[in-house]
Amino acid sequence: MKVLWIGGWAISPDLILEQASKRFPEIEHRAVVPTAKIQIEEDFDWLVGHSLGAFLMLLWPDRFTAKRGFVLLSPFVEFPREADRGGKVSKTQLKVTARGLRTDALTTVNDFYDRADLGVNAKDLPYPVEDLAWGLDLLLEKAVNQETISSRYHEVLLGGQDPILDASRLLKFFPTAKVLPEAGHRFEDLLEELLFNKKTHV
């Protein structure tokens, strides 16, 4: 079985692969970063999006194919707190982060890791700063059309202790989601309850 993981903002593909391989050693894994040109047409059994990666899967469903199904970890439909759709981070903070990328990108990324309680301290950028800046612009400007949230998503997992997303608010948009009471926004916390099966949701 082959699984493709689409990471969250500033999450290193190497970190994703390390955690995914530990949780599912019998599965073949590949991880990609969320970028403007992302389009998945390869022969994967499952696509799993985390945070910004899940947002892209919801925003552009036609860009993603999978043989068995799709999974969303910490998804959202509109990120800024002002939208009142489940995000806890203000537009002001997003703009501060965007400015920080231009002056001291590594410090800015590590500040985000602290705010999101990801337990990461990076010595290098997880991927190019241009893609990091694009991701922030997307979070500021875009929202998911609720009609695109369909039964194609096999499993949706949310963290009850997520510092940047409000799981209880997001249940309005993802009523079948499972909320993990002790989990936060960390990728590895959500993997503990992730189960792949043969059911197809396409």
Domains, in order of start, for the chain: 2-191 (3.40.50.1820)
User: Residue 109 is encoded by which pair of tokens?
Assistant: 């990324």
In angstroms, the CA 104 to CA 196 distance is 40
Categorize the per-residue pLDDT at 197 as very low, low, confident or very high, splitting at 50, 70 and 90. Answer: low
In angstroms, the CA 27 to CA 82 distance is 40
Q: How many CB atoms lie within 10 A of CB 47?
A: 24
Given a cut of 80, whether residue 150 has pLDDT beyond it is no
In angstroms, the CA 28 to CA 96 distance is 38
Categorize the per-residue pLDDT at 121 as very low, low, confident or very high, splitting at 50, 70 and 90. Answer: very high
Given a cut of 50, whether residue 202 has pLDDT beyond it is no
